[in-house]
Amino acid sequence: MCHVRHKASTVQAPAGRHKPVSGLADMPLWYETIAPIPPPDPMPAPLHCHLDFISPYGYFASLRLEAIAARHGRSVAWHPMLLGVAVMKVMGLKPLMDTPLKGDYVERDVRRYARERGVPMKRQPRDAVMNPLACARALAWTNRHEPERASAVVHAVYGAYWGQGLDLSTPDALAPVLGEALARAAAGEEAAALLRAEVDASLAQGVFGSPTVVVDGEPFWGVDKLEQLERWLARGGW
């Protein structure tokens, strides 16, 4: 089985269910952790993170967002979106790395961010981009059937794709990372329909980039907005 770079324990699944993805124990220093604040009753709404697995900035945000949420008694709900739909079809723009000048800057920026924080990066922004559908469908299916495992799916896929440089375009490639049963489910019609619903919902909320975190209806786009997002949580908005 292929795992993300960090050492991880295994999340046990109920008997008869698909093989579990990697757990999140023993995370290294580049993965932000902090003892959560006991949430008030009732539990406040989660932070809704919309992401595309081909986005390096989504990868970076996924390593920090749960710690931010925990500091404010929140959880994180992970939602797949597709940049190919939001950016290319709806906005009518070129892929980011094909945009003159901006693509060169993004490549430099991603490398710089990874070096600063010591984030594992075996893949670079200009490397061949995988088809993200299988991974996105796997997350959409998990959100419907086993939402408690969505976080583990996000970290396993991001770690395998960006951290280890694996191509996860097909169910066969995805199976060693998420388990054969979940990979098969991701190839089914139900998962495809669930992903379409997730993408439509993200567009309806005005989501166009990865990552976009929606906090009580307020959107924050980009990993560089996480500090502002945390100030928003601390103050209750402004």
Q: Residue 101 falls within a domain, yes or no?
A: yes
State the pTM of this model: 0.81
Q: Where are the beta strands (DSSP E) in the chain?
A: 47-51, 76-80, 212-215, 218-221
Q: Containing domain of residue 70, as a range?
A: 47-235
Please report how the helices 171-178 and 133-145 are oriented relative to each other, as an axis angle in degrees rounded to 10.
Answer: 50
Tell me the C-alpha distance between 227 and 182, whole Å.
Answer: 34
Q: Residue 23 falls within a domain, yes or no?
A: no
Q: Residue 41 falls within a domain, yes or no?
A: no
Q: Residue 21 falls within a domain, yes or no?
A: no
| Confidence class for position 191, pLDDT limits 50, 70, 90 | very high
* Mean pLDDT on 210-220: 98
Q: Residue 32 falls within a domain, yes or no?
A: no
**9, 22, 55, 169: which is the annotated catalytic residue?**
55
| Three-class DSSP labels, 201-216 | HHHHCCCCCCCEEEEC
- How many degrees, rounded to 5, is the angle at CA 120 between CA 117 and CA 123? 125
Q: Residue 226 falls within a domain, yes or no?
A: yes
Q: For the segment 69-123, what is each residue's pLDDT rounded down to a tens digit? A: 999 999 999 999 999 999 888 888 888 888 889 899 999 999 999 999 999 999 9
| Confidence class for position 40, pLDDT limits 50, 70, 90 | low
Tell me the CA end-to-end span of the chain in Å, nearest whole number. Answer: 47
Rounded to the nearest 5°, which phi and psi values hold at 179?
Answer: 100, 145
The total number of structural domains in the chain stands at 1
Lowest mean pLDDT: which of 20-29, 31-40, 62-71?
20-29
Q: Residue 56 falls within a domain, yes or no?
A: yes
Size of the chain in residues: 238
Q: Which two tokens stand for residue 226?
A: 């996480």
Q: What is the pLDDT of residue 59?
A: 98
Q: For the segment 46-59, what is each residue's pLDDT rounded down to a tens digit? A: 999 999 999 999 99
Q: Which two tokens stand for residue 7?
A: 């050492």
Q: What is the pLDDT of residue 169?
A: 96
**Which strands make up the sheet holding 218-221, listed edge to edge?**
76-80, 47-51, 212-215, 218-221
CATH code where residue 106 lies: 3.40.30.10
Q: Residue 15 falls within a domain, yes or no?
A: no
| Confidence class for position 17, pLDDT limits 50, 70, 90 | very low
Catalytic residue at 22?
A: no
Provide the 3-class DSSP secondary structure of residue 51.
strand
Q: What is the pLDDT of residue 93?
A: 84
Average pLDDT along the chain: 87
Contact 47, 76 (CB under 8 A): yes
Which of 40, 31, 6, 36 lies closest to 21, judged by CA? 6
